[in-house]
A = this chain, B = another copy of it.
Amino acid sequence: MPKLSEGHFRISMTATAQEKPYFSKVTVIGVGLIGGSLALKMKANGLWGTVVGVGRSKANLEKAVELGVIDSFTHDVSEGVRGADLVIIAVPVRTTIPVLKDAVPALKIGAIVTDVGSVKGGIVDEAEKLMPEGVFFVGAHPIAGTEYSGVEAAFATLFEGRRCILTPTGKTSREAFEAVGALWRAAGSKLVEMDTAAHDKVLASVSHLPHMIAYSLVNSVADVDGEIDGVLGFSAGGFKDFTRIASSSPAMWLDICAMNRDALLDVIKVFESRVTRLKTLLQAEDYTALMEEFERAKRVRDSI
């Protein structure tokens, strides 16, 4: 199975690219928390020249201009990417490929295209097939976010000290990879290189599965609340913290589930068997084995 390397590039970058990954024209498709925060940071660092925003909401794009996140905007993807040296696709994961299809005919030779999606397999494979000769795709996933969304939530330090996973393949251009790496390093991220399958399984485990669990737990307690009126009134403290992520955007999580279906199903099955084991041990009153389960979990959790 694949091993992960962390905190460094396997491919060393040129000194020039490391110091100044400058792009004179950049297009950000999806000017929200992630795309907006990256643009703010890059403009503040003088690393991006002109920044064009592409999106559907005029109000959001006007706000982005007002906040200095972008210089101009359009609702038309192909118009937006024309002449861009760098294109950042920062839309919900199920929209990435459709947007890329619209962009492809207008991309200039030498352009680098990258994304920020929390699912990589389906996106990177498809994106590589779509790339014309001389246009380069690099899959990226900055692991950062807040509970807020939209450009008004954007801030330049969002990525500082956070990891950004890059998922190069055998087809990835080394130069493009180094340039995207330098970009995220300039944003303050710690870089991690991983193949797309490993990325998707890791994220399924530590992020997508916990969301499924939070949704399931909240719905379970709502079921019990139908039996004993008032149960939800006791959902203070720990339970509230534990289920905070059940307030995340259903639409965004539907996208992620659909895009990372196989890896997510795999880890759901692992989790189901773990819950069934606890249930079976409790039914059998096998407290020795139950204690071992708890102790293993505590040991693992304390080691994180």
Contact = CB atoms under 8 A, between A and B. Distances in A.
The residue among A221, A232, A264, A282 with the most chain B CB atoms within 10 A of its own CB is A221
A44 interface: no
A213 B302 contact: no
A269 to B, nearest CB: 7
B300 A232 contact: yes
A133 interface: no
A247 interface: yes
Interface string A107-143: 0000000000000000000000000000000000001
Contact of A304 (B2, B232, B275, B296): B232
- Best-surrounded residue of A209, A215, A235 (most CB of chain B within 10 A): A215
A268 B258 contact: no
A279 B215 CA distance: 12
A251 B292 CA distance: 10
B212 A278 contact: yes
B219 A274 contact: yes
A258 B287 contact: yes
Given A143-B234, A214-B297, A221 B206 contact: yes
A270 B228 contact: no
A298 B250 contact: yes
A234 B163 contact: yes
27 contacts: A4-B230, A143-B236, A201-B228, A205-B234, A206-B231, A206-B238, A207-B238, A213-B213, A213-B242, A216-B271, A216-B274, A216-B277, A218-B300, A220-B270, A223-B270, A224-B267, A224-B270, A246-B297, A246-B301, A247-B302, A250-B294, A253-B294, A257-B282, A265-B283, A268-B282, A271-B275, A272-B276
For the complex of A and B, the 5 pairs showing the least CB-CB separation, nearest first, are A250-B294, A4-B230, A216-B274, A215-B297, A246-B301
Given A216-B278, A218-B300, 8 more contacts: A205-B220, A206-B239, A210-B217, A216-B271, A217-B274, A253-B294, A258-B287, A261-B285
